[in-house]
Chain A
Amino acid sequence: MRFTFDGVEHAGRAGDTLAAALLRAGVDVVGSSIYRGRPRGISGAGAEEPNGLVQVELGGGSEPMLRATEVELFDGLAARGLPGRGALSPAPDSARYDKAYAHCDVLVVGCGPAGRAAAEAAAAGGARVIVAESRPDRAIAEKGELRMLGRTTAIGCYDAGYVVLAERRTDHLGAAAPPGAARERLWHVRAGRVVLATGAYERPIAFAGNDLPGVMLASAARTYVERFGVVPGRRAVLFTTDDSGHAAAAVLADAGVELAAVADAREGVLVRAAEGERRVTGALVGDELVPCDLLLVAGGWSPAVHLLSQAQGTLRWDAGAGGFVPDRAPDGYAVAGAANGTYDHDACVAEGAAAGGGSARNGSAPLRRAAEPATLVWAVEPPPGRDWEECFVDQQRDATVADLRRATGAGLRSPEHVKRFTTIGTANDQGKTSGVVALGVLAELLGCDIADLGPTTFRPPFTPVSFGLLAGRDRGALSDPVRTTTIHPWHVEHGAVFEDVGQWKRPWFYPRDGEDMDAAVLRECAAARAAVAIMDASTLGQIDVQGADAETFLNRLYTGDFSKLAVGRCKYGLLCSADGMVLDDGVSMRLAPDRFLVTTTTGNAAKVLDWFEEWLQTEWPELRVHCTSVTEQWATVAIVGPRARAVVGALAPALDVSNAAFPFMAIRDATVAGLPARVCRVSFSGELAFEVNVPAWHGPALWDAVWAAGEPHGITPYGTETMHVLRAEKGYVIVGQDTDGTVTPQDLGLSWMVSQRKGDFVGRRSHRRADTQRGDRKQLVGLLPEERLPEGAQLVLDPGAPVPVPMAGFVTSSYDSAALGRPFALALLEGGRERHGETVHAPLEDRTVAARVVEPVFYDPEGTRRDG
């Protein structure tokens, strides 16, 4: 297999990782360190690798910060080493990512000896089993209900056996990847039981020069020999604290590596420094400099307890295992094998079988534990001429023992504080090799026992994952549902610019040739005030409220009195939350004594229905009421302006549209343009207006008919921006724009909508609280500013006051008005109702704009235009 690294072509073998292939090709230096620019090579063989960071060209784009130890070689692979950090490709990720959801009785994470035994035992007991294994060379044969997920890493463990897995499906295939295949798949698994058989990571030791290429974990060197047939050096020195280092050295010796020296810390022999420039050339064993090109380090083992810790399992220091081992596992979790601090093969298998078979106690003690405490060597004092600055703890962060000494010198004691101060453990390897070493050094510096220093928190993901995988197919148009009305195609065809309102696409304005938004809105406003204009109002939420107690129910939730609302009439209503603040508003129609149709703000429809259900189910289950969302069932067209009556009259010849026969706030069932319709005389603009509701599928037909009937009158479509201007000119608030959850009806000047006679309703008691009765609450006012203000602009009373100038309020709505011929605004202003006639000031970035405070009704305050 050919591949290029840093532009140079090399040969590797099928089954190699990039790290193995680089070692095979004799590439010592893979990259450089992030801050100090020191040469770095391969030091590990798996997910723990802190140094061998590469950027790889893959099908979906260029992927940075991959570990060469986990990148599988394919023919034609192109990679380059990184200086401790990579760069995300600015191009969109063209790869496809999938998600899958699965349930099983037993999920086994890891397919080493313990994991295999667990899977076998679970399957033998009839369980549905999923086995996830990161390494491509490990698997268990699928049979019955045992499913093997290879190249799959468990990245997060959560409550109640919920585990998230990342499966890599195509990267290892290179150009041979099937077109259209998902590059990776994110598995959401809910397991009855989870067996963590995740193994352990060997630890390095912090001595001078321990980051030189050629300094390698002993277990990693053994892996390169046994798994890949690669000999990572010719002449080795072993620095070990335990027997596993000797076992690794023996494997290398069998492969022809000359073992130049052994420093066994148990015998008091230490490697005090590594010599070399671009690769290790010698090891200072005691006082003797031993020439070598490979320095094997075996500093003990740290169980891979990350997933257990994520799932809220607890850890404890085990002196015999020389590491943090599981203490208590949460419900449904069991740990087996090296992850449990068990390093004997047969004991690992026995633990796995017990865990898989369900007979293991949670967090059970390892079956076989060393009688003697493990020998621990965290850091070796550098020889004369060398420095703690060369004794690396976190190689990916370039953090050394000197950094830890600075941290404790500055008075830091807590591992969490030291982690943040030194950044140890915060790189993308999340401290797999450095975390426990840092704790060991810290314990020595503080003169305490490492058992007293709990490890820092482990958080998902266990290994880095791409954002593309987490997003899956929920990208672009699929990231959130898009709702459109039945009339939407007409808006598109007529050049509407759309605005997102919740999930709805609503026409914002309809620019004609060359118009910008301001010009279009002024024209649309003028049409609504002077002639006739139409708007698609189908997005307004509609809730059908039925039942014998419907009136009682609405009376308990709305501020107004529904007992006086006659059938065939509608009224404007306000909802408050229990704290008295305005929650939503809308017009409610009484269709029958026991049936109402309630409308809501477009963006609040679901919230209001949920609000209704919450009170019905949790407080008043005795009420005989049913609520149904019918928003999607209706298309609604608002016909607005002095000529609206002529248009509706032409379309509904049988309907008497005169003001006497069809007064404001009345509802009529009628045939409009040949369609069965419900017509309401409501107005959100102050103009004569009819809202015509037809079954949703008739929406386009109704719209076309209104359009045709209106053409002689110069009918004009308008969007949400014009709607906002028209309503603001009348001082009608929009919940969520002019209110923010801290505004009462009284603050808005809507006391007239709050019934004083009907009895209790949600929010009423709060309107008597001392706080809601303060005179200096922010109240809705109108502003006539010198120029159009930005919405959100802060208002002050005295712009010359010393900084910080007290804020007296802020602008909630601001527009240019065709009808007024000037800019205007709505604002919430402290004690605003007492300030009419005063001047307030809006300090902007480079100037301060004065504004006169006025009543929040700018247009037709007498309401003469409502009836045409």
Chain B
Amino acid sequence: MLLVPCPYCGDRDETEFAYGGQAHVPYPADPDALDDAAWGAYLFVRDNPKGAFAERWVHSAGCRRWFNVVRDTATHRVQASYRIGEPAP
């Protein structure tokens, strides 16, 4: 079980959180400007790296706030966590 560093509450067990997939995939400013392929990529295509991965988590059973985590997908080591709107380290 991961130990997830909530930027608001501190380290908490993974079971308090829900996972939100890849971070920094913003809703397109003008969806109509995208063709079907580009819109489909926004909807369905995500990175799947072995190594550092910026991903979204929400502290569902705690402060209920969303934030971002950089986690190594091979070792599960959490390298950073930061608030929404802050740049990825």
CB of B85 within 8 Å of the partner chain: yes
The closest CB in chain A to the CB of B3 belongs to A160
User: When chains A and B are docked, how far (Å) is the Cα of A150 from the Cα of B22?
Assistant: 44
CB of B52 within 8 Å of the partner chain: no
Residues 569-593 of A, flagged 1 when their CB comes within 8 A of B and 0 if not, give: 0000000001100000000000000
Whether the Cβ atoms of A769 and B66 lie closer than 8 Å is no
User: When chains A and B are docked, how far (Å) is the Cα of A429 from the Cα of B25?
Assistant: 47
The closest CB in chain A to the CB of B31 belongs to A765
Partner of A162, one of B3, B58, B66, B84: B3
CB of B46 within 8 Å of the partner chain: no
Whether the Cβ atoms of B31 and A764 lie closer than 8 Å is yes
Whether the Cβ atoms of A621 and B84 lie closer than 8 Å is yes
The closest CB in chain B to the CB of A615 belongs to B27
Q: How many residues of A contact B (CB 8 A)?
A: 25
Q: How many residues of B contact A (CB 8 A)?
A: 30
Residues 752-773 of A, flagged 1 when their CB comes within 8 A of B and 0 if not, give: 0000000010101110011000
By a CB distance below 8 angstroms, the chain A residues around B2 are 159-160
User: When chains A and B are docked, how far (Å) is the Cα of A637 from the Cα of B42?
Assistant: 43
Q: How far is the CB of A312 from chain B (nearest CB, A)?
A: 7
Whether the Cβ atoms of A619 and B27 lie closer than 8 Å is yes
The closest CB in chain A to the CB of B1 belongs to A162
Given A765-B31, A769-B36, A769-B40, also A619-B3 (CB < 8 A): no
By a CB distance below 8 angstroms, the chain B residues around A617 are 65-66, 84
CB of A632 within 8 Å of the partner chain: no
Residues 330-369 of A, flagged 1 when their CB comes within 8 A of B and 0 if not, give: 1100000000000000000000000000000000000000
User: When chains A and B are docked, how far (Å) is the Cα of A760 from the Cα of B33?
Assistant: 12
Partner of B20, one of A162, A614, A762, A765: A614
Whether the Cβ atoms of B1 and A618 lie closer than 8 Å is no
Given A312-B75, A330-B75, A610-B60, also A190-B3 (CB < 8 A): yes
Whether the Cβ atoms of A618 and B66 lie closer than 8 Å is yes
Within 8 A of A (CB), among B5-39: 13, 18, 20, 26-28, 31-32, 34, 36, 39
CB of A613 within 8 Å of the partner chain: yes
Residues 583-625 of A, flagged 1 when their CB comes within 8 A of B and 0 if not, give: 0000000000000000000000000001001100111010000
CB of A158 within 8 Å of the partner chain: yes
By a CB distance below 8 angstroms, the chain B residues around A610 are 18, 58, 60
Total A-B Cβ pairs within 8 A: 61
Whether the Cβ atoms of A760 and B36 lie closer than 8 Å is no
Residues 52-80 of B, flagged 1 when their CB comes within 8 A of A and 0 if not, give: 00001010100011100000000111100
By a CB distance below 8 angstroms, the chain B residues around A162 are 1, 3, 13
User: When chains A and B are docked, how far (Å) is the Cα of A770 from the Cα of B43?
Assistant: 14
User: When chains A and B are docked, how far (Å) is the Cα of A610 from the Cα of B77?
Assistant: 27
Whether the Cβ atoms of A613 and B64 lie closer than 8 Å is yes
Q: How far is the CB of A843 from chain B (nearest CB, A)?
A: 34
Whether the Cβ atoms of B76 and A312 lie closer than 8 Å is yes
By a CB distance below 8 angstroms, the chain A residues around B56 are 618
Partner of B1, one of A160, A331, A621, A769: A160
Partner of A765, one of B32, B76, B85: B32
User: When chains A and B are docked, how far (Å) is the Cα of A655 from the Cα of B34?
Assistant: 52
Q: List 22 A-B contacts (CB under 8 A).
A: A159-B2, A160-B1, A160-B3, A160-B78, A161-B3, A331-B75, A578-B42, A578-B43, A613-B58, A613-B66, A614-B20, A618-B20, A618-B56, A618-B66, A618-B84, A621-B84, A762-B27, A765-B32, A766-B39, A766-B43, A769-B40, A770-B36
10 more A-B residue pairs beyond the given contacts A158-B1, A613-B66, with a C-beta to C-beta distance below 8 A: A159-B1, A160-B76, A312-B76, A579-B43, A610-B58, A613-B64, A614-B20, A614-B58, A617-B66, A769-B40
Interface residue ranges, A against B (CB under 8 Å): 158-162, 190, 312, 330-331, 578-579, 610, 613-614, 617-619, 621, 760, 762, 764-766, 769-770
8 A-B pairs with the lowest CB-CB distances in the bound complex, closest first: A765-B31, A160-B3, A617-B66, A162-B1, A159-B76, A619-B27, A618-B66, A158-B1
